[in-house]
Amino acid sequence: MSELFEKMDRLETIRMPDGEVYYLNNFDLGRAPDAILHQLIADVPWRQENILVWGKMYRQPRLVAWYGDSGSDYTYSGITLTPMPWTDLLLEVRTRVETVTGESFNSVLLNFYRDNRDSMGFHSDDEPELGERPVIASLSFGEERTLVLKHKLNKLAKPVRLRLESGSLLLMKGETQRYWKHGIAKETRSCGPRINLTFRSIVSPVRASSTTRP
Ligand SMILES: O=C(O)CCC(=O)C(=O)O
Ligand SMILES: [Mn+2]
């Protein structure tokens, strides 16, 4: 992890057993988070995927897009995403994330939560192509939503609830994906749009995967 990141006074280390999670608000993107939100809503060719959960097909409750270096195919919940080439905006954001965290990323999954009914079910980012200890840098734009993390084995470990502010960076690394699941719940209140960018590094493309991410 970069010294720059460790020294940031806005950096919060989330206290949780068997996990390494950091949260930084007001991440310097060089532009207002809202401007980035609206550019992404307008420019990205968003898709709603069908996913296979326990043998049944569902419409994913959000829109997605996948960008990255060529060759960084990614398979989850029965779908394989072939990346679109990086855009100037995504490359600029990636450079800033890499500089601050000291990590490198070759792909990014974009999630678009249109309103309060969009969500992401509990899952771990533990697909084989992400390697042994995946490092995931997650940026949020737009409506504040709650990320809930639950320990997979230790029933005494309290779930962690994090409000992800617009313009924030969440870094998950170490054993986090092995021991914890995370997800974005639906909300009962009405919500504006939110876009989340999760930068990842595909270590080796793999064809099949059994994990599900409803
Ligand atoms: O929207 C979020 O903050 C979570 C996204 C996520 O967990 C994922 O893309 O794997
Ligand atoms: Mn995830």
User: What integer pLDDT is reported at residue 142 of this predicted model?
Assistant: 98
Q: Is the pLDDT of residue 209 over 60?
A: no
What CA–CA distance (Å, rounded) separates 77 from 52?
6
**Position in ligand 1 atom list of the atom nearest CA 138:** 3
Residue 106's pLDDT is what?
A: 96
Q: State the distance from the centre of ligand 2 to the C-alpha of 183, rounded, in angstroms.
A: 7
Residue 112 has pLDDT above 70, yes or no: yes
Q: Are 74 and 129 in contact (CB under 8 A)?
A: yes
Probe residue for ligand 1, chosen from 49, 181, 196, 211 as the CB with the greatest number of ligand atoms within 8 Å: 196
Output the residue whose Cα is nearest ligand 1's atom 9.
Answer: 198
Please provide the DSSP assignment of 97-134 as one string: HHHHH----SEEEEEEE-STT--EEEE----GGG-SS-
Nearest CA to ligand 1 atom 3: 196
Q: Best-predicted range by mean pLDDT among 58-62, 125-129, 173-177?
A: 173-177
User: Which residue's CA is the nearest one to ligand 1's atom 7?
Assistant: 183
Q: Give, in degrees to the nearest 5, the angle at Cα 151 between 149 and 152.
A: 120
Q: What is the pTM of this model?
A: 0.93
- Using the CB atoms, write b or e for 182-211: b if 16+ within 10 Å: bbbeebeeebebbbbbbbbbbeeeeeebee
Nearest C-alpha neighbor of 148 from the set 159, 138, 157, 137: 159
Ligand 1 center from residue 16 Cα (angstroms): 19
pLDDT for residue 32 is more than 90: yes
Neighbours of ion ligand 2 (CB under 5 A): 125
* Structure confidence by residue, pLDDT tens digits, 130-187: 999 999 999 999 999 999 999 999 999 999 999 999 999 999 999 999 999 999 999 9
Nearest ligand to the C-alpha of residue 120? 1
What's the CATH superfamily of 3-200? Alpha-ketoglutarate-dependent dioxygenase AlkB-like (2.60.120.590)
What single DSSP character describes residue 82? P
Q: Are 66 and 109 in contact (CB under 8 A)?
A: yes
d(CA 199, ligand 1 centre) in Å: 10
Tell how far the Cα of 62 is from the centroid of ligand 2, in angstroms. 13
